[in-house]
Structure 1
Amino acid sequence: MKELGKINSLLINRFTANGAYLALHDGEEVLLPKSYLKEEFKEGQEVEVFVYTDSEDRPVAVTNRPVALLDEFAVMEAKEITRFGAFMDWGLPKDLFVPKSEMHVDMVEGAKYLVRVCLDYKTDRLIGVSKYEDFLELETRGFEEGQEVEALIFAETDLGFKVLIENAFEGLLYKNEVFIPLELGDKIRAFVKKRREDGKLDLRIEPIGREKYEEGAEKILTVLKVKKFLPLHDKSSPESIKELLGMSKKHFKQSIGQLYKAKLIKILDNGIELI
């Protein structure tokens, strides 16, 4: 069934006491349960649904969207661990099953893991696979220093945060360069710092070079337009600056210097003020 694991636009064929039957491309039908029906639904109407299998392995359509579709990654919480595998919360009534043989590490209930939604061709069911490295692309020479990328935070190490880039590449954000709170599952924009010899990418949250200071200045200006005054100055502690603005002290000083030269702020003994 080519609709399995995807978002599909399907026509309503007919209604029954159990819900609406939608037309599949192979001529078969799939049930959209009654709990997902809306009053305005009519026969012949096209509806957008996600197709997967229910607890009895029957194809079923839902109007909910899971956190990941077929061949996509997401960070999911392990809801239940059994000797056969783990059941993951992916935003649908039926949890996604990760077989023991497809675990990157032994899972712990309540912990979060990077999982890819895959099709088990033996059973024609959707399963989760946490052996993420099997799916990564190793050729990263196409990335350039300073390039903006979409990054998914999926693990924390002593060095920093492991991230999945563009659903296909692995990268790292170093803790000593992160000045905003991050949690597993966060999707952020980041910038390529360098490409390592092993092909993995080092990232940073702030843009590289002069653009970084322009963005920092814009952030301070946005806050000042609301607050008019910030109790931060050259002698403020790095912790105070990080708490109020989410940036390093060096970044802050360079940014307010730019705003001062542009005659947009006053630098006072006890803080900065919008002109």
Structure 2
Amino acid sequence: MNMVQAGQMATLEVIRVAPFGFFLSAGDEDILLHKNEAEGELREGQKVSVFLYIDHEDRLAATMKKPLLTSGEFTWLYVSDVNRKLGVFLEMGIQKQLLLSKDDLPKEWASWPQRGDKVFVGLKLDKKGRLLAKLGLDVELQEMEQEAGKDMLHKEVSGYVYRVIALGAFFFTEEQHIAFLHRDDIKGVVRLGQRVSARVKSIREDGRLNVTQNPRKVEAYQEDSEQIYQILKDRGGAMPFSDQTDPDTIRDRFGISKAAFKRAMGKLMKEGKIYQEEGWTYLTSIKQK
């Protein structure tokens, strides 16, 4: 009875040499090791270590090339191609690429990995015994995960996203910490497999990180005040917005909350750069003229 299957490493005996390759014995089945997948000339009776996979004709085949991933393991693999009908294809160190099915990918296309991204995966078999990738999660990362110390607070961390959910995204940092990026702390859209950077805003009791891509408040005040000051200059020194303007108008016009707007305006007034009158804001330099 044949006990070998795709995704495994196996030591098999060469039982027949053919012009196009070598046939290996696997119980009641002969497995082809194509010449392109062999290392050097092999002879009958020789035992070789091979990786088993399903070829393009749905046959169990062998290669002597070392794969980046075998059954029971999880690792990070690069995305080599994206097919919206099928999923994403991953480089695993052999000629055959590994498919991560669209059924295992986020529903939103914008959250799918792109070429060059890196995803954390293991191997599984479909109903026909073909190799597929399966996404790794926290439980598979635990063997590598390190508990973060308090010295990580406010530090910049980078890593690859391994899970995307409605509330945000999880990524694994270069320091081997699990970090959570809440959707309110994300700039733009974060996709599975993307390399992201963020600042540590808190450290959980279990040693995991909560991170943000938003600037610190001091930096945010500076950016907001500079934006408002530039808008005033572009408008010739006056604009029909002030602390009395409704929040929706402020968000539509400036892209920030009313609280952030008032803080930035307060900063500019404290610096003597602007003043307000009857619902309008003016550059002080205009008044001085």
TM-score of the two chains, using structure 1 as the length reference: 0.50
> What residue is the counterpart of 1:5 in the other structure?
7
C-alpha distance in structure 2 between counterparts of 1:62 and 1:138, whole Å: 31
C-alpha distance in structure 1 between counterparts of 2:177 and 2:146, whole Å: 14
The 5-angstrom pairing of residues 245-264 of structure 1 reads none
Task: Give 3-state SS (helix, strand or coil) of 2:137's partner.
Answer: helix
> What residue is the counterpart of 1:162 in the other structure?
172
Q: In percent, how many aligned pairs have the same letter?
A: 24
The 5-angstrom pairing of residues 122-271 of structure 1 reads 122-130=127-135, 132-133=136-137, 135-136=139-140, 154-155=160-161, 162-163=172-173, 171-172=178-179, 196-198=204-206, 200=208
**TM-superposed deviation, 1:127:** 0.4
Alpha-carbon distance change, 172 to 123 in structure 1, aligned in 2, over 3 angstroms: same
Larger radius of gyration: 2
CA contact (8 A) 2:5 2:129 kept: no
C-alpha distance in structure 1 between counterparts of 2:46 and 2:144, whole Å: 45
> What residue is the counterpart of 1:227 in the other structure?
none
**TM-superposed deviation, 1:99:** 0.8
> What residue is the counterpart of 1:36 in the other structure?
37
C-alpha distance in structure 2 between counterparts of 1:14 and 1:42, whole Å: 8
> What residue is the counterpart of 2:117 in the other structure?
112
> What residue is the counterpart of 1:23 in the other structure?
25
C-alpha distance in structure 1 between counterparts of 2:16 and 2:206, whole Å: 56
Residue type at the aligned position of 2:178: G
Q: 1:101 aligns with which of 103, 107, 113?
A: 103
Q: How many residue pairs end up in the alignment? A: 176
C-alpha distance in structure 2 between counterparts of 1:39 and 1:140, whole Å: 37
- The answer for unaligned runs of 5 or more in structure 2 is 150-158, 163-169, 181-192, 195-202, 211-289
Residues 123-158 of structure 1, C-alpha deviations (whole Å, 9 max, x = no match): 21110123x22753779999798xxxxxxx5349xx
- The answer for unaligned runs of 5 or more in structure 1 is 146-152, 174-183, 186-194, 203-275
Superposed CA RMSD: 4.4
> What residue is the counterpart of 1:56 in the other structure?
57
Residue type at the aligned position of 2:137: E
CA contact (8 A) 1:18 1:34 kept: yes
Alpha-carbon distance change, 138 to 66 in structure 1, aligned in 2, over 3 angstroms: closer
Residues 74-104 of structure 1, C-alpha deviations (whole Å, 9 max, x = no match): 2322423232211222222221111111125
CA contact (8 A) 1:81 1:107 kept: no
